[in-house]
Amino acid sequence: MSDLLLKNISQYMHLSQEDFNQFVKPFEYRKFKKKEVVLKEGEYCLFEGFVLNGCFKIYYLNETGFEQTLYFAVEEWWITDIDSLINNVPSILNIEALEDSEVLVISKKDKEHLYETLPQIEKLFRIMNQKSSVALQRRILSLTGKTADKRYLEFLEKYPGLEQRLTQQQVASYLGITHEFLSKIRRKLSLKK
């Protein structure tokens, strides 16, 4: 299980086997059933989780009760509510398993301890947070400046093969449109082929 985590962090830095063993030690293996809520709006997020397999949606409900998906987390992605975790405030996000899933979870306290004992881990998470910030910026720009058609095509590129694992409603929620409008986009694009 930790091999996937090693593969993931190796993209950013090299850790000796001894350092990696120390790094992975505080992670807890957790299983989540399909539709299980990992974090609910109003709760405090006390963890970060590395997805070994499965799929999660990270979403919130807007003022009108419309579900808006921020992102999907699949294998080798991380799940958390960073605002709640860092600032110790109630979460405005919900994290739900869309499939039976397995995750390696680390608490904030254990992560802070790793920073003290393995200084290179702080660098690792800084790099990962920078990449996450870039992805979120691109997501905001896409939502505010691109047509739904272009957002759909970006979704297909960003999450290859994921559309088959999701309902049309879940994809539409990510795109910020209704599932009826998504059907129209799909029809229009299929006619262009």
Q: Which amino acid is at 154?
A: E
Alpha-carbon distance 176 to 191, whole Å? Answer: 23
| 161 within some domain | no
pLDDT tens per residue, range 109-144: 999 999 999 988 988 889 988 988 898 899 889 888
| 48 within some domain | yes
SS3 165: helix
**65 dihedral zone (left: phi>0; alpha: psi -120 to 50; beta):** left
| 156 within some domain | no
Alpha-carbon distance 101 to 97, whole Å? Answer: 7
Closest to 39 measured CA to CA, from 95, 122, 90, 88: 95
- Residue 45's domain is classified under what CATH number? 2.60.120.10
CB 64 within 8 A of CB 91: no
| 91 within some domain | yes
Q: Tens-of-pLDDT digits for all 193 residues of the chain?
A: 678 998 888 888 888 889 999 999 999 999 999 999 999 999 999 999 999 999 999 999 988 888 999 999 999 999 999 999 999 999 999 999 999 999 999 999 999 999 999 988 988 889 988 988 898 899 889 888 999 999 999 999 988 899 999 999 999 999 999 999 999 999 988 887 6
Number of domains in the chain: 1
| 67 within some domain | yes
Domain that holds residue 42: 1-117
| 38 within some domain | yes
Q: pTM surpassing 0.85?
A: yes
| 58 within some domain | yes
| 149 within some domain | no
